[in-house]
Amino acid sequence: MIATIISERKKHNPVLLNEVTSIISPQYGGTFIDCTFGQGGYTRKILDFEKTNVIALDRDEDSIKIANNIKKGFKNRFIFENKKFSELHKLSLNNKDIKAIIFDLGFSLDQIKNQDKGLSFSSKGELNMRLGLNSFSAKDAINKLEQKQLEDILKFFGEEKEYKRISYNIVHERKKKEIDTSGLVRIIESSKRKKNYRVHCATKTFQALRIFVNKEISELINGLVNATKILKKNGKIVVVSFHSLEDKIVKYFFKNLSENKNSSRYVPKINDKINLLKLINKKPVIPSEAEIKKNPSSRSAKLRSAIKQYDTAKIETDIYEKFENLLEIENYSKKL
């Protein structure tokens, strides 16, 4: 996620690019899956090494044009699919040995600058926040959900402390007229009692709505599970996340599959549970001072990675139970 600050820079800077490259070692060749192609920053870097192949995915159809340009130079080594990464297991891989699957979560600078997507507080017009391949928008959520449902979204997806006042005011205001992006910002501004001048007051609400609209919780969980399934022994999973909720899910998933114990009451005791994954870095890798200075929106990035230790598509994880409450909130969209 390129934070919610729009910088003056023109181009999306791939975050932690050198750190990701040093984990996946493209200099030795192989096939890689870039689950979040975006502007193609990671893909291009991998393709710069001979004997590499990249299969890239992105849910945003605006990525197709960028992918078509890359295809001109790397026809036989690059494939792009306009798909969500939760559908990784549907790729026809023909039993290919994938060296690494990479996730660079959130959205790119180009997406936040695109007024039509409505990801930024300064966007004009209808609420949207759809990254692509969605079934509803932020407009539907804000104008149709019940007050309690809005409260849950703001509280759990945005960690917004003033979730009650904001949700109350949304429901009150929408009776008068449909709420658009600037209307929502005004409601948030007037609802907030505590002012924090370092962060825009709508940051948390916008984050919460974006997560809800794009079903980012189930996308991430299914993406991690399916990535682990399709990898063979020694295949790597690399995830760059940008907010604490994402990092919590990635951290739990890797821990859950790399520790030989039943960490949860939800899973029946199994004595011979294997450590399917091994952590590559015990602690998350974060951007250097120099990277943050050059690209301030990288400051919240955290990179976690793991390597698969056995050739099996069978996975024992309680990740769905662990994050059941968040998945239930995502399901409020069923009525939209």
Which stretches of the chain bind ligand SAM, using CB under 6 A? Answer: 12, 14, 36, 38-42, 57-60, 63, 84-85, 104, 106-108, 131, 219
Residue 49 CA, chain-centre distance (Å), reads 26
CB of 317 to ligand SAM, least distance (A): 19
Helix (H) or strand (E) holding 270: none
Task: Between 163 and 323, name the residue whose CB sits nearer to ligand SAM.
Answer: 323
Q: What is the sign of the dihedral through the CA atoms of 52, 15, 329 and 127?
A: negative
- Residue 286 in tokens: 């974060």
CB 86 to ligand SAM: min, Å? 6
Bridge-based pairing of strands 236-241 and 98-104 is: parallel
Minimum CB distance to ligand SAM smaller for 106 or for 235: 106
User: Least distance from C-beta 233 to ligand SAM, angstroms?
Assistant: 26
Among 14, 164, 187, CA closest to 102: 14
Residue closer to ligand SAM, measured from CB, 84 or 243: 84
CB 143 within 8 A of CB 136: no
Min. distance of Cβ 207 from ligand SAM in angstroms?
A: 14
Complex with ligand SAM: residue 220 or 231, whichever CB lies closer = 220
127 vs 140: CA distance, rounded Å: 8
Give least dist CB 192 to ligand SAM, A.
28
Nearer to ligand SAM, 82 or 143 (CB): 82
Please check whether residue 56 is in contact with residue 77, taking contact to mean a CB–CB distance below 8 angstroms. Answer: no
- 303 Cβ contact partners less than 8 Å away, ≥ 6 residues apart: 16, 19, 20, 23, 238, 239, 240, 281, 284, 285, 286
Helix axis angle, 216-230 relative to 244-258, nearest 10°? Answer: 30
Concatenated DSSP letters for 41-92?
A: HHHHHHHTSTTEEEEEE-S-TTHHHHHHHHHHH-TTTEEEE---GGGGGGS-
Of 131 and 250, which has the nearer Cβ to ligand SAM?
131
CB of residue 49 vs ligand SAM: minimum separation in angstroms?
16
Shortest Cβ 88–ligand SAM spacing (Å)? 9
Q: Which residue is nearest to ligand SAM (CB)?
A: 41
Choice between 201 and 301, CB closer to ligand SAM: 301
